[in-house]
Amino acid sequence: MPVFQIILALSYLLVCANPADTLYLSLDDAVQLALKKSPSAIEAGAARLQSGLTLGQSINNLLPTPIATLTSVKTEPVTIWKGSVTISQVAFDPLVYAALVNGIINSCYHSLDARDKIARLIYDVTSDYLNLLKSQLLFAAAQKALAQAEESRKLTSERYRLGQAARIDLLRSEAFYSQAQLNLSGAEKALDLAQANLSACIGISPSQPVRANEHLAQPAEISIHDADSLLLLMERLNPGISMQKNLEKIARINLATYFARILPGISLYRSYEYNDTILPRNYQHWQEKSSHTDGISLTFPFVDLKTFIINIGDALAGSRRARAGLARARLQLHAAAQAAILGYQESWARYQQTERNLELNREVYELAIIQYRLGALSVSELLEVETSLSQAEASYLSALCDTYIHAAEIGYLLGKTGSE
């Protein structure tokens, strides 16, 4: 049986020893549960709602705006009722048109924000899940190493009793056993921490035991033929870059809008004024007792020159900040992308090396056991072989899980939300 399957089987034995209410999750189960329970998923839903509301608010500025009032004034010996209804409609206003365009862009911004939150959540869950799986496997490997150390210690103790081993061999076997106990304690702590991190990421109670039961038979595979093309694709699809582009567009529109305020704003309105001693009984009564006025309203923001100049200066500063933010986001994306690509390539190469190294160490260990029992190998030499085997197993498991973690990071930078 391959060593990886042996380690995985030992990890399942560990899982079975946990309480009955342990939550067993595959990677897809963990992602789907996080999309339902995680605070990040709730924030993404709020961002999608805000996207629709922002679009509606921007359109609302172009629609007719009604204003209605009704008051009573008591003047002895009568009470006078006064009412008014005014309906205004924007005919031309740079601010209103700019607000519409900005609203559409802002709506896209919030939609992208929601997508970015989901993509980040999927990456975080994937990373924490694989770290939990790796911790489980390393814990099982540490258990196996402790069992090997204990067997070696017992055998050395028996040989020492029979006079076939020196005291230094006995002390070395005791030290190796003690180190194996320390390694197991550290692996158990790492396992508890990994479980707590995954629980927090998913949004479930930390008191709920969680175990990963995904089968990683082989490393994650991503085709990376041209890193430059992949970087360009990330820049086009990454939600964070798209959000910064939207902010830069809004800043440019605001700058143009404040310059356009030199033009007057034009609105059309119709007003109805009611004045009578009787409260309006119905619409016909209102029509008979009211007068209406149609007019055009002109506003000249340019008249307030100081505000006009300050607004333009503020818009210029905002435009520069937005351009700098977009440039910074691109640089950060390129750095993160290169790190993820190099990390994946390194972990893939390391997996291939550690897989072969594990096979060799396994063969060496099996031969060492036979030679040790025949007396052809000293205790110190056997302990070195066992240490090398434990290190090879840990390196193999780390490299295997790391390929999936770096693949998930590349998927996040591409803005993948699991639906593509």
Rounded Cα gap, residues 90 and 97, in angstroms: 10
Query: Quick one: how far is CA 350 from the chain centroid?
Result: 27
Rounded Cα gap, residues 313 and 258, in angstroms: 9
Name the token pair of 246.
Answer: 């939207």
| Residue type at position 235 | E
| pLDDT score recorded for residue 419 | 46
How many structural domains are present in the chain?
1
Closest alpha carbon to 413 in 230, 287, 269: 230
Q: What residues does 298 pair with on adjacent strands?
A: 266
Q: How confident is the model at residue 192 (pLDDT cuts 50, 70, 90)?
A: very high
Q: How confident is the model at residue 302 (pLDDT cuts 50, 70, 90)?
A: confident
Asked if 265 and 92 count as a contact pair (C-beta separation under 8 A), the reply is yes
Would you put residue 161 in left (φ > 0), alpha (ψ -120 to 50) or beta? Answer: alpha
Within a domain: 381: yes
Top pLDDT among 69 and 9 is at 69
| pLDDT score recorded for residue 321 | 92
Q: What percent of the chain has pLDDT over 90?
A: 21
Q: What percent of the chain has pLDDT over 70?
A: 94
Instruction: Identify the domain containing residue 282 by its residue range.
Output: 3-413
| pLDDT score recorded for residue 10 | 47
**Is the predicted pLDDT of residue 16 greater than 60, yes or no?**
no
Q: How many CB atoms lie within 10 A of CB 307?
A: 13
Within a domain: 419: no
**Is the predicted pLDDT of residue 1 greater than 50, yes or no?**
no
| pLDDT score recorded for residue 418 | 64
**Is the predicted pLDDT of residue 281 greater than 80, yes or no?**
no
Within a domain: 106: yes
Q: Which residue has the tokens 């692996």?
A: 187
- CATH code (residue 312): 1.20.1600.10
CA distances from 324 to 31, 238, 246, 310, 315 (A): 35, 18, 13, 21, 14
Name the token pair of 2.
Answer: 């391959």
Beta strand 265-276 with 65-75 is unpaired
Within a domain: 233: yes
Q: What residues does 270 pair with on adjacent strands?
A: 87, 294
Within a domain: 327: yes
| pLDDT score recorded for residue 201 | 92
DSSP 238: -
Within a domain: 35: yes
Rounded Cα gap, residues 412 and 115, in angstroms: 10
- Strand, coil or helix: 26: coil
Closest alpha carbon to 170 in 181, 157, 158, 154: 157
Within a domain: 420: no
**Is the predicted pLDDT of residue 52 greater than 80, yes or no?**
yes
Closest alpha carbon to 23 in 213, 197, 211, 195: 211
